[in-house]
């Protein structure tokens, strides 16, 4: 079994584990913009020692590029902080932001959002 086969995805409106990416759909090339990724936006996710989000990774996959670039990993402690991150990035070309989160009880979840870069 490959790791990609165990990654789960779902609509965040019906599944509390799916990460939500909030970012503009269109930006200008090299323009700094804010990205927020959260878990439990519509349905709150527990934040206890027994059941919590341990980390969120953020990636970019540029259009027509087979490589995926890692933007950052954000770690969380149970009952200390909520699984929400905000970061500022800039892109030179269009692509797909990919967020991956890890729940210590229910595994790895992903979601993505297309970002169009206007030159």
User: Catalytic residues, which ones?
Assistant: 15-17, 45, 51, 103, 106
Outline where the chain has alpha helix (H). Answer: none
How many secondary structure helices (H) and strands (E) does the chain include?
0, 9
- The DSSP code sequence of 1-34 is --GGGT-EE--TTT-TTSEEEE--SEEETT--EE
> From the centroid of its chain, how far is CA 95?
14
- Residue whose structure tokens are 């967020």: 99
Selection from 7, 12, 9 nearest residue 84 by Cα? 12
């Amino acid at each position: 079994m490959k790791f990609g086969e165990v990654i789960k995805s779902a609509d965040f409106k019906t599944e509390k584990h799916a990460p939500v990416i909030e970012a503009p759909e269109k930006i200008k090339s090299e323009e700094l913009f804010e990205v927020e990724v959260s878990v439990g936006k519509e349905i709150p996710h527990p934040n206890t020692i027994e059941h919590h989000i341990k980390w969120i990774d953020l990636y970019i996959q540029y259009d027509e590029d087979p490589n995926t670039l890692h933007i950052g990993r954000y770690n969380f402690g149970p009952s200390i902080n909520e699984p929400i991150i905000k970061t500022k990035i800039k892109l030179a070309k269009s692509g797909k932001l990919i967020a991956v989160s890890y729940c210590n009880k229910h595994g790895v979840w992903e979601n993505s959002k297309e970002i169009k870069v206007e030159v």
